Amino acid sequence: MITSAGTKVITALQGLAIAWHSSESVATAAHQGVAAQAANGHTVHKLFGWNVYSRRKWVPTKEQKERFAQLKLLILDEILTCDVSILGKVDASLRRILNRLTDLCGGVHVLLVGDWLQQLPVASQPAYLTPDELPQSEL
């Protein structure tokens, strides 16, 4: 979903969640806390229980497995503020939580929402570039 500044994205996301008939079947998250709060969701770190400062290997909990078992759609808001590593971690985490290691994102549909007029991540590689933005060597 590509949006521009001033649109009613939050209302659309909430309507989408209602249309799925279950609060457990849709989750909303964002990389930054303000965006997650505005979307009535969690940060991706909170949603998956990732500890930023821990060097221990992340292992999904029983509670996470139960909560994610009903998940059909994950809405990632403000996707342009994420670097590509966050998308990789989301994919890997969903595969592990749902024990569907060969299915992209564990078989969960992922809707990426963002405003293409906003600033890209300050560090690292953005999650998405248009063909015009790709370096010539990657075409």
pLDDT, tens digit, 9 for 90 and up, residues 115-134:
766 666 555 666 666 667 66
pLDDT in tens, 13-35: 667 667 766 667 888 898 888 88
The domain segmentation of the chain, as residue ranges, is: 2-15+22-54+70-122
Q: For domain 2-15+22-54+70-122, which architecture applies?
A: 3-Layer(aba) Sandwich (3.40)
State the SS3 of the chain. Answer: CEECCCCCHHHHHHHHHHHCCCCCCEEEEECCHHHHHHCCCEEHHHHHCCCCCCCCCCCCCHHHHHHHCCCCEEEEECHHHCEHHHHHHHHHHHHHHHCCCCCHHHHCEEEECEECCCCCCCCCCECCCCHHHCCHHHC
pTM comes to 0.74
Lowest average pLDDT, out of 13-17, 44-48, 58-62, 85-89, goes to: 13-17
